[in-house]
Structure 1
Amino acid sequence: MDFFSIVLLIVACISVIGIAVAVYVYYHPQLIVGRIQNVLYKNKRPINSYEPFDPPMRMIKENKQLLVTEIGYGTEYPNSFLDILYPSEDTSVRRPTVIYFHGGGFFGGDKRLGDPLAVDDDANRLFEEVAANGFNFVNVNYALVPDYHFPVPLIQMNQAIEFLLQHDFELGLDMQNVVLFGQSAGAVLVGQYGSLLANEEYQKILGITPSIKAERIKALIIDDAPFMTEKFGLKLKLMTGNYLGTMNMQSPTAKKSNAYEFITIGYRPTFLTAGNTDGFPDDMSAFAQKLTEVGTECEYFFVPKNVCELPHGYLNLVKENEHARLCFDHILSFMKKYTGGNGNEQVS
């Protein structure tokens, strides 16, 4: 065999191996996601735990807000803990309740650390601003891959809401006047829960009955969520497929996860936004359009890229970016419009 033939054989072997590796990774996305998780959590903490990641605490912050952490809301799944941030230490004040679900692609993220995929994963400044505007802010953790898959986080979402309903008085929460707020993966959960509240058929398909009456949910805030599974590119297929347990975005599981397909009359008032560089503006635009078609009051806030480039999770930039600030102000106005929040009534 001459030298040229040997080179061709080597190239062919390398190509075959490369294709084989690519195919294997495609059908085993946890290989890639697992590497990312190792970077995020190695020598820091486990991915899932039935114990709190940090010691529970009750503290008055420098801004006079009260923070209570690591409240267990369930025992069936790991990471079933939530924090509550109050505008002041007086928990007897009747205020609207915002329940927040973090992002992180269902493989990362945390109620206190934020979304590692966002532009700035320290979202605490955003949380403090919500509380400063007269809302009690509940921040929820949920189980992550590779051990837990769809619809476990959605089940946990329902469990957290049920827990808050059962303990509203002792926690000083108004669960008659609730806003659900999610970012990225958390926004997927909020969108799905919105469809559950409005669509009994979707409840049957997922086997989940909402633990709260729809009329108690005054508004939904959906911040940059991917829903249109049939249009996902490879990167999103890998991440979402790892969570859904299938890379086939036309599969029954993928279709069940797409809240867009189950939007019906009765969907709660919704605010949507998306980044314009690595966000999901097409998904948010389509979602808003369908909400309008079924008669749901909604607002879609979007800044074109030629005005200002805004990455995924840009709301975290609320203190330094004028467009993030404008969007946040719109969110506050939207929440106050539907909750009538003024933060000055007393819990009876």
Structure 2
Amino acid sequence: MKEKTKRRLRLLARVVGGICVALVVLALVLATHTQIVVGAIQALSAGTVKTTNTYEPEGEPMDAVRDNGQRIVTDIAYADEYPNSFLDITYPDSDTSVRRPTLVYFHGGGFFGGSKSMGDPLASSDVTSLLDDICAAGYNVVNVDYGLVPDCRFPVPVIQANQALAWCESHADEYGLDMDDVIIMGSSAGVIISSQLGAVLSNPEYAAELGIEPSLERDQVRAVVIDDAPLVYDEFSLGTKVLIGNYVRGTIFLSKEEVHRYDATQWVTSDYPPAVLLGSEYHNDMRHMDAALSEAGVTHELIDPLAERGLEMPHCFVAAERSDEVARDAFERMLAFLADRTD
């Protein structure tokens, strides 16, 4: 080989090596500073999805009867310590004196986006129709907003969820809410909050770990609906680790203690509320929760289309219950489970 050719090969090797080193360094920076990635997503989503934190309501608060006959009261401040501390209440009709179970719902959005009115930008279906149909089945629906990253990381949204429950409890008579007959539900990021809230209300050690004094007694909560929650961190894909790691501490390299603190499956006791589990994209996580609930002797039902039908369903598939047969079946089974446990 000629010396000139060897020099070119050595130069090429150095260039390729330099590129590889640069890529490794870039990957490490992104892995240890995940908000760079998530912030870029937030910037790209701005204008189409709520990605910001504010101490002002989304819109002008209103109290109105919608075309479907349901009454909605919007943008009620439930606290003022953290941003986005607002909730909406929807009733099946204009008569708020009727005693109905209260379903408290937390939206998804990877903890970087979404809102009570816009739903989850990562889900395949609009959750608005799902909540309308739950309301029509006889529930007063409390739809809760919470703070987003980077300002609000774990466990702030769980603290906010507990604050929302406290507000509902203290304003139950004023707003016609039965707080002795409560369902807690969420989707995606929102159901991570819901699953953790179930542990806070039923496990004093977990409540102390997060520094939360539960706003409700465990017996007031009749069930938790866990709709496709990513919980088992060590089994996450890289993309999910970026979102969840960013929510927990701004890095994908979480300690065992941080993972333990995050994962509600590790805090289940026999007092955990009865639960409906809906598995699709995160069906493995729902199976882990199923195992934890079974071991603790907690009444629950796992709805897993992959195991039951061999069908891979999209993230939070139950929101498609108006148009998809499998989603409709899951929706009806969920309602039947809740009906058996509410007054």
TM-score bracket, normalised by the shorter chain, equals over 0.9
CA distance in 2, matches of 1:33, 1:85: 32
1:148 aligns with 2:174: no
Q: Residue 84 of structure 1 corresponds to which residue in structure 2?
A: 89
Match of 1:240 among 241, 244, 252: 244
In the TM superposition, what whole-angstrom CA distance separates every residue of 1:272-303 from its partner, at most 9, and x where no partner exists?
A: 0111xxx1111111111211111110000011
Deviation at 1:314, TM superposition (A): 0.9
C-alpha contact (below 8 Å) 2:107/2:116 kept by paired residues: yes
Structure 2 segments unaligned to the other structure (5+ residues): none
CA distance in 1, matches of 2:11, 2:145: 56
Q: Residue 315 of structure 2 corresponds to which residue in structure 1?
A: 312
C-alpha contact (below 8 Å) 1:112/1:123 kept by paired residues: no
CA distance in 2, matches of 1:99, 1:17: 47
Q: Look up the equivalent residue of 1:74 and give its one-letter code.
A: A
CA distance in 2, matches of 1:39, 1:325: 33
Pair 1:43–1:102, CA change in 2 (3 A): closer
Q: Residue 299 of structure 1 corresponds to which residue in structure 2?
A: 301
Residues 174-185 of structure 1 mapped to structure 2, 5 A cutoff: 174-185=178-189
Q: Residue 267 of structure 2 corresponds to which residue in structure 1?
A: 262
Residues 311-330 of structure 1 mapped to structure 2, 5 A cutoff: 311-330=314-333
User: 3-state SS of the aligned residue for 2:229?
Assistant: coil
1:172 aligns with 2:186: no
Q: Residue 290 of structure 1 corresponds to which residue in structure 2?
A: 292
CA distance in 2, matches of 1:55, 1:45: 16
C-alpha contact (below 8 Å) 1:143/1:152 kept by paired residues: yes
Match of 2:334 among 331, 334, 338: 331
CA distance in 2, matches of 1:45, 1:214: 33
User: 3-state SS of the aligned residue for 1:112?
Assistant: coil
C-alpha contact (below 8 Å) 1:45/1:53 kept by paired residues: no
1:106 aligns with 2:108: no
In the TM superposition, what whole-angstrom CA distance separates every residue of 1:121-174 from its partner, at most 9, and x where no partner exists?
A: x21100110011010001000001011110000000000000000000111111
1:14 aligns with 2:16: no
User: 3-state SS of the aligned residue for 1:256?
Assistant: helix
User: 3-state SS of the aligned residue for 2:185?
Assistant: strand
CA distance in 1, matches of 2:183, 2:247: 26
**Percent identical residues:** 40
CA distance in 1, matches of 2:287, 2:9: 55
In the TM superposition, what whole-angstrom CA distance separates every residue of 1:63-85 from its partner, at most 9, and x where no partner exists?
A: 11111110100000000000011
Pair 1:283–1:309, CA change in 2 (3 A): closer
CA distance in 1, matches of 2:295, 2:27: 41
Q: Look up the equivalent residue of 1:284 and give its one-letter code.
A: M
Q: Look up the equivalent residue of 1:328 and give its one-letter code.
A: F
CA RMSD of aligned residues (A): 1.5
CA distance in 1, matches of 2:48, 2:296: 49
C-alpha contact (below 8 Å) 2:106/2:186 kept by paired residues: yes
Pair 1:286–1:45, CA change in 2 (3 A): closer
Structure 1 segments unaligned to the other structure (5+ residues): 341-348
Q: Residue 78 of structure 2 corresponds to which residue in structure 1?
A: 73
In the TM superposition, what whole-angstrom CA distance separates every residue of 1:236-260 from its partner, at most 9, and x where no partner exists?
A: 2111110001423334222111111
Deviation at 1:336, TM superposition (A): 0.8
Q: Look up the equivalent residue of 2:100 and give its one-letter code.
A: R
Residue-pair matches, total = 336
1:47 aligns with 2:47: no
CA distance in 1, matches of 2:186, 2:138: 19
C-alpha contact (below 8 Å) 1:274/1:284 kept by paired residues: yes
Q: Residue 203 of structure 1 corresponds to which residue in structure 2?
A: 207
Pair 1:154–1:45, CA change in 2 (3 A): closer
Q: Residue 165 of structure 2 corresponds to which residue in structure 1?
A: 161
Q: TM-score, normalised by structure 1?
A: 0.93
Q: Residue 345 of structure 1 corresponds to which residue in structure 2?
A: none
C-alpha contact (below 8 Å) 1:230/1:250 kept by paired residues: no
In the TM superposition, what whole-angstrom CA distance separates every residue of 1:212-240 from its partner, at most 9, and x where no partner exists?
A: 01100001100000111222232121111
Q: Look up the equivalent residue of 2:18 and give its one-letter code.
A: C
Residues 266-281 of structure 1 mapped to structure 2, 5 A cutoff: 266-275=271-280, 279-281=281-283
Deviation at 1:43, TM superposition (A): 8.1
Deviation at 1:11, TM superposition (A): 1.2
